[in-house]
Structure 1
Amino acid sequence: MSDTPVELELSVQPSSQTESGRGLQPPPLFQRPLTTRDPSAPRQPPLLQLDVQLPESLPEQQHRARPRWINHRRLLLLLSGFSLCSAILGLVYYMHYNHQHSSIQAATPCLSPACQWASTRLSMSADPFTQPCDYFLSTCRSDILSPDNVGGQMEEDIPGHPQEQKSVWTERRGRSKEREDRRLRKEKIPDRQTVLLQYLREILESKDRPDSAAVQKTKEFYRSCLDTRSIDTAGAEPFLSLIHKLGGWAVSGQWNRTDFNSTLSLLMRDYATFPFFNLYVGKDPNEIARGTTKRYIQIDQPDLLIPIEWNSKTLKSEAKTQTLLPFLASCESYLALLGAPPGIIRTHVGRFTSLSSELAAAAAPLHFRQSKGPLYQRMTIRELQIQAPTIDWLGCLQAAFHPLPLVEDDHVLLHNSPYIVQMSLIIGKWLNEHELSTSGPVRTYMVLYLLHTLMPALGSRFSETATNLSVALGDAEGVDDRWKHCVLETERGFDLVLTHLLRKRTAHREAEEIIQNICSSFKSKLHELKWTDQRTLQFVMKKVQSLIPRLWTTKEISSEAELNLLFSKVTVGTNSFFSNYVQLLSMRRKRRIQLLTEKAEAADILSVTPLLLGDELLFPMGMFIPPLFHPTYPRAMNYGVMGFLIAKDILHLILPDVHSQSEMVQAVGECVWAHYLTVTDKAGRGGALSLAAAQQQEVWVQYSALQIALQAYHQSLKNHPSDTSISGLSHTRLFLTSFSQVHCVSDPYREAMPMEPSFLITAICAESDLCPTSLQCPNTSQLHSSHTC
């Protein structure tokens, strides 16, 4: 669906229902009751009314002539009627209770280890139905949409409540909020990417026996990465030994003055290092629309080490003094750690910075390059050699893709051609001016760039220097846990092994089932919307109907024997992470070759959201992992969490700008927001703020995603009525309780969501027979409402 426009004008044929009847009403499947009444129990019939009447007037003598028992006929008939009515009511009640009791007993408790863990987690979390305020009136951040926050709200008088009742409730809410804040700080559900990394960590740290040779090497690499003591003990010595093998450099005192292009070829081939330009593999965007699968070598400007800023007036990149000083200090620290004599450090750093600044001035940010025309030029390697003659392009590319044969007539895609041309001139000038000098600034530039590549394999003193620079530049995001760093590094070299292990642990049948059911419910959701343009509707609906949703698996490696053969030449030592890391960089060259020669799109093991690839809607395996998904969970849990996330991902992917095409998006968004203001008691106190278009759309997306997931779950219950349960919760209540756990989750659209997703339960529960009647807070109006969204 790559040719689908970014902004879709969607429209659906209106149904025969009236606007009030279909516009914002949840579909009938959403009216499934909870434990308050069994959905399949027969409704209680009306009371039997026996209307036994006598004539209004009878002659007195006739009345006196009747036998005595006739005089009491009315009383006897009434007593008989009441007895019969009581018997029928008792029978109905017995049948109803017996059916309900048997229905509850039919919900088999889930006792798997995964369910026991989930049950423990649920018991430690606030129940959205017995403790609604803990979920519905609290947020994970300050309430930026209201002039007052929740804490300030608790200090005000509660309308309709005595002052003494307010003080008790305020104290109770205060304690509850403190507990909730502590819980969120300690048990905040991580983002899906972190959940996946944690799961891969468990795989790498598992003690499964016996492991294949490839799996053993993968785990040994991971363990050597965790061994920071050995890494710190080695210090800079492994890197200095590597530089010596490459011919040395002027800073170390020994330099064989090796050829510039020969050194560059070695850096590209063995160490995945590209100091003067970037190199990657990808498709030609102009050919994607035609369905071609051919990939090309793509050449672009490099990731510059020196911090620069774009000057919109001069239209050039430049280094500012306030950022240049900490950069110089970090370079001096690196040279000192590498054993450079103090007297020559500043000279080498000064020339390295000058060369870096010249290269940076030739670079340009993406938005500027887009404004100047096409992002790339297609040309042969021979034509590229003419434009930038300082670099031996054929020799360097042959080294980077060895042993793949390349010739001068092969095509490449050249990005930012002005930079590549200027880079060639700059390098040529510096080589001519300093080739006979003892400083070798171009050589120093390549060595420090290689140091940047190998930094993850060096000791803590190097990483601390890099962190200090990030802090000085104001872009530090905090230091990740070591295990997370090691999982990511392991994936870079052993992704095929991890993909194989993840595929073995993925419940394919259960994942495919929930994918298909959610996609089917999503398609039905589209028909509920009132679109503005019929032609675009027909186009989009045709696209949606043609989509093939499936689990994204790879067929590159089909057996452990193939993996063992592929990694047969890789040797991994448990106490030498540096040498292991160097081999990892060499393996990345093999992956580039595979990307260039293979037609199939390799599955991205670190992906956690679906993607469109032609007519296929692919769902990565990394989405279907514990604790978000497990094959032994009750389906209510899987649909309440993963079903909601899948539906939300699809809505964002397929309908990126639906707000401008459907009035219902605004109507639903404002309806839910008005409900939120009412429940949180902000509507009458200056809190009735309108939502921006992006916020309205996000509220509609998440509310619709919850509806889609619930409808898909109820449909699955119709097809397969049996489902297990946890903690004795009924199916729908377990669904909603599980959904409430998707709380405070890091999400790329989080800033557009004006409330916690768990509040959407109150909107879903607007149907009075869906949720328990206790869904309310003492200081607000009841959360049940006759007005539904």
Structure 2
Amino acid sequence: MGTLWSQERPPEEEQPTEQRSRWWAPARRLLTAVLLLGLFLGSSVVLFYFLWSCGPRPCKTPACWRLLKYYQASGNTSVPPCTDFFSYACAEAEGANTSFQALAEENKSRLQKILDAPRSWPPGSGEEKAFQFYRSCLDTDAIEAAGAGPLRQVIEELGGWPVSSNWTSLDFNRTLRLLMSQYDHFPFFRAYLGPHPTPSHSPIIQIDQPEFDVPLKQKQEQKIYAQIVREYLTYLNQLGSLLGGDPIQVQQHASVSISITSRLFQFLRPLEQQQAQEKLFRIVTIEQLQEMAPAIDWLSCLQATFTQMSLSPSQAVVVHDLDYLKNMSQLVEEQLSNHSDFLQSHMIFGLVGTLSPALNSAFREARRLLNRKLQELMGRPPTPAYDRGMQCVEETGAFFEPALAALFVREAFGPSTQSAAMDLFTTIKDALVTRLQRLPWMDEETRKEAQDRVTRLQVEMGAPGGAMTPALASQKYSEVRLGPNFLQSFLSGIRARRARIIQSFLEPFPHHRWQVSPWGVKAYYSVSDHVVVFPAGLLQPPFFHPAYPRAVNFGAAGSIMARELLHIFDQLLFSGNCLACDTYALERELQCLERGYAAFPSPGGTSFGGFHLLLESAADVGALAIALQAYNKRLLWRRGEATLPNLDLTPQQLFFRSYAQVMCRELSTQDSQDTQSPPTLRVHGPLSNTLAFSRHFQCPQGALLNPSHRCQLW
């Protein structure tokens, strides 16, 4: 029955059902269309909101507004970016400083504000002594009142000076020991502790060339050379007069001192020549060194300088230019045989120049005038006007670095900034590990070893760990004695700094020994400790800020980080150091880079050459590629990219602009001693080898920065 009931209906019931069916069909189609239209409109709104929320937004934080002002002041956007991106980013930059030098000045100003703030410290603490030293440095009235008296006292302790006082003819090596150990002055050579050049990189005494007070060069025009000598002679005559010397006698001793300097300089061998001859260093014992350069009492001089060590004739030392030391010794023996008083004057002249920052205005003005004349002769912009406050900041920072480190880091590199910087570094390091997998010239075993080296690399940021512990920092200043005059305080600071550096090498220290101050702007890779260091002073605006668009941080600070990471593999690129690599492919890329860089017009007619310069340029190109790869990966995982307002740059364009901003520098300030390419090449070389740059700036094929062929070593 149930079945029949379901299948059979009266005829009168079937008609209304058919009518409803005919009416419902078009209604259903209409309803479906309305629903589809609503779904389309709704999804469009959602998609529009999604794209709008993920698109670049203008960053309007105070940090971004300051960066915008900085970029607008340093760029010239009327220049075509595809032919001269350096001018596009840097043409309007004011002053002779590089971007790094400008940042260094800003950091010193911040440190000066810290030192100027009224504070109280525990008696005898490193902070108390630092602030006392700074205030005594600023007390120019007391320094002027003391006159040349404190300096004369120092000269008397060294046996006097033939041109200005009674001279006790002391033993030459006794005077040299005092200069080295008590005044940190090395007139004929430098001696310092450093890591052994071969594994295990244990501390070892290094004997190197001296740092000359006169800017002589291996290749210098005779006219320029004569003018430099003339200006330096005038300066030495002034020093003798300020110390009451007879003008005729002063003139004679000053001339001989310059002659000694000139001859010592001629003994030097250029670094390129040492590299070509594979004589960068030699390891000898003190006894062997004594035989080869007998004029110096090496054991007594080194023992007095490195009192924390127990030395013997069998002690090994590293000698960086043995030929220089042999010739220097012969010159000293000649002077001792004929004119030992001239040799004494030469050492005193050099010491007075070293101590000039701690002397009265007459000595400082003589030094300032000399520096200005030398800058003019070398074709460099004049140095800024003398600022006593900034000079005192520099001296206080140099002598009391551990005590001031924590104060600077708390002021400039808080936890949020450090966390953001570490996150950036991790992303850059991961990008390098990924990139190593694609290098065609590396064999599989070398690739795995390279990736392992990156993985094992340590990183330190901000300041040394021990410097952030006030108790440990204060212990380093127990021997500092301030007074009775500023020169004595200055000398006490010199001695304490030298003892601190030596002790840091000798202590079994679990952390890396920093080579820069926390407010410095130089990152570096330490081969001996396999650690890369980024001081707090470097990770600052305009290179880095947590509130910046990611494009800025990756383009500026990220490329700096990537460059230091690539220094891990410097030795790998030297000929014969990677036997299992595809040397043909490696050489091909190096030659490609060399040809590409040589094709760029270089300011001042300088030429691109030398393997060291080639390696530095390869690191520039690789660093930009790694930073860009890391930035693109970050864009895939994190939405909400920002750009700078009113700059009319996409995030990718801002990335390249930020990279170039790091290199900004006036072309006339390029030093011939620089190991880097000129700033234009450091911008144009990497950009021309980056296809993404041409794409984002829509560079036509064949433009200077969009060549038909690109090189990519890394």
TM-score when normalising by structure 1: 0.65
Q: Identify the range of structure 1 (440-449 vs 539-548) with the bigger mean alpha-carbon deviation.
A: 539-548
Amino acid at match of 1:583: S
2:550 equivalent to 1:645: no
Give the aligned partner of residue 158 of structure 2: 246
Q: What does residue 121 of structure 1 align with?
A: 67
Q: Is the 8 A contact 2:159 2:168 kept in 1?
A: yes
The match for 1:611 among 498, 501, 525 is: 525
Q: Are the aligned partners of 1:278 and 1:301 in contact in 2 as well (CA < 8 Å)?
A: yes
Q: What's the counterpart of residue 585 of structure 1?
A: 494
1:651-691 Cα shifts (integer Å, max 9, x gaps): 466479699639899999999xx9x9xxxxxxxxxxxxxxx
2:662 is matched by which residue type in structure 1? Answer: V
Q: How has the CA–CA distance of structure 1 residues 426 and 197 changed in structure 2, closer, same or farther, with 3 Å as cutoff?
A: same
Q: Give the 3-state SS of the residue equivalent to 1:708 in structure 2.
A: helix
Q: 1:622-641 to 2 correspondence within 5 Å?
A: 622=536, 623-631=538-546, 637-641=552-556
| Matching residue of 1:449 | 350
Does 2:177 match 1:265?
Answer: yes
Secondary structure at the aligned position of 1:551 is classed as strand
What secondary structure does 1:250 align onto? coil
Could you tell me which residue of structure 1 aligns to residue 401 of structure 2? Answer: 495
Query: What is the CA–CA distance in structure 1 between the aligned matches of 2:192 and 2:567, rounded to whole Å?
Result: 28
2:305 is equivalent to residue 391 of structure 1? no
Report SS of the residue matched to 2:400. Answer: helix
* Residues 257 and 346 in structure 2, CA contact (< 8 A), matched pair in contact too: yes
CA contact (8 A) 1:518 1:712 kept: no
Unaligned runs of 5+ residues in structure 1 are: 1-69, 143-149, 151-176, 677-691, 768-774
Q: CA 1:377/1:551 → structure 2, altered by over 3 Å: closer, same or farther?
A: closer
Distance between the aligned counterparts of 1:765 and 1:629, measured in 2?
A: 25
Task: Evaluate the alpha carbon distance shift between residue 587 and residue 761 of structure 1 in structure 2; reply closer, same or farther with a 3 A threshold.
Answer: same
- The residue number in structure 2 matching 1:567 is 477
Shift of 1:444: 0.7
CA distance in 2, matches of 1:558, 1:548: 22
**Partner in structure 2 of residue 464 of structure 1:** 368
CA contact (8 A) 1:610 1:649 kept: yes
Q: Tell me, in whole angstroms, the C-alpha distance in 1 between the residues paired with 2:443 and 2:112.
A: 52
Cα displacement (A) at 1:387: 3.8
Aligned to 2:204, the other structure's residue is in SS state strand
Instruction: Give 1:559 deviation, angstroms.
Output: 1.9
CA contact (8 A) 1:665 1:696 kept: no
Tell me what 1:538 maps to.
Answer: 447
**What is the alpha-carbon distance in structure 2 between the residues aligned to residue 400 and residue 340 of structure 1?**
31
* Equivalent residue for 2:335, pick from 412, 430, 433: 430
- Which of 412, 415, 421 is equivalent to 1:511? 421
User: Is 1:745 aligned to 2:696, yes or no?
Assistant: no
Structure 1 residues 433 and 486: alpha-carbon distance in aligned structure 2, compared to 1, 3 A threshold: same
State TM-score, norm by structure 2: 0.71
Question: Pairwise CA RMSD of aligned residues?
Answer: 5.2
Equivalent residues in 2 for 1:74-113, closer than 5 Å: 83=34, 86-97=37-48, 99=50
Alignment-mate amino acid for residue 489 of structure 1: E
Q: How far apart are residue 121 of structure 1 and its match?
A: 3.2
Q: Residues of 2 paired with 1:357 and 1:284: CA distance?
A: 31
Aligned to 2:464: 554
SS at match of 1:249: coil
Shift of 1:520: 0.6
Counterparts of 2:155 and 2:521 in 1: how far apart (Å)?
Answer: 36
1:255 match: secondary structure: coil
Q: CA deviation at 1:340?
A: 1.8
Matched residue SS, 2:163 = helix
Counting matched residue pairs gives 628
Cα deviation 1:446-500 (Å, max 9, x = unaligned): 1112112213333332223421552465265531564665554334322323444
For 1:710, the equivalent position in structure 2 comes to 631
Write out per-residue CA displacement over residues 23-59 of structure 1, whole angstroms, 9 at most, x where no aligned residue.
Answer: xxxxxxxxxxxxxxxxxxxxxxxxxxxxxxxxxxxxx
How far 1:195 moved relative to its partner?
A: 1.6
C-alpha distance 136-756 of structure 1, shift in aligned 2 (>3 A):
farther
Q: 1:520 aligns with which of 430, 439, 458?
A: 430
Q: Which has the higher helix share?
A: 2
Residue of structure 1 in register with 2:109 after alignment: 201
- From 344, 347, 363, give the equivalent of 2:249: 344
* Correspondence list, 1:107-506, <5 A: 115-122=61-68, 125=71, 136=81, 139=84, 182=92, 184-185=93-94, 190-206=98-114, 207=117, 209=119, 213-222=125-134, 225=137, 236-285=148-197, 287-288=198-199, 292-305=200-213, 310=218, 321=226, 323-372=228-277, 374-434=279-339, 440-458=341-359, 459=361, 460-471=364-375, 473-474=377-378, 476=380, 478-480=382-384, 482=387, 486-504=392-410, 505-506=413-414
Asked whether the 8 Å contact 2:176–2:301 carries over to 1, the reply is: yes
Summarize the Cα distance change of 1:209–1:651 in structure 2 as closer, same or farther, 3 Å threshold.
Answer: same
**Mean Cα displacement is larger for which, 642-651 or 628-637?**
628-637
Name the SS for the 1:253 alignment partner: coil
Cα 1:335–1:565 shift into 2, 3 Å: same
Residue aligned with 1:299, SS: strand
Counterparts of 2:30 and 2:617, CA distance in 1: 62
For residue 117 of structure 1, give the secondary structure of its aligned residue in structure 2: helix
Contact 1:306 1:357 in 2 (8 A): no
Distance in 1 (alpha carbons) for counterparts of 2:308 and 2:568: 39
Distance, in Å, in 2 between the alignment partners of 1:706 and 1:121 is 20
CA contact (8 A) 1:515 1:549 kept: no
Q: Displacement, 1:642?
A: 2.1
Question: Of 602, 605, 630, which aligns to 2:513?
Answer: 602
Report if the CA contact (8 A) 1:135-1:758 is conserved: no
Cα deviation for residue 100 of structure 1 reads 5.5
| Contact 1:659-1:693 within 8 A present in 2 as well | no
Helix, strand or coil at the partner of 1:384: helix
The 3-state SS of whatever aligns with 1:740 is helix
Residue by residue, what CA displacement relative to the aligned partner does 1:138-157 show, whole Å, maximum 9, x if unpaired?
85766xxxxxxx9xxxxxxx
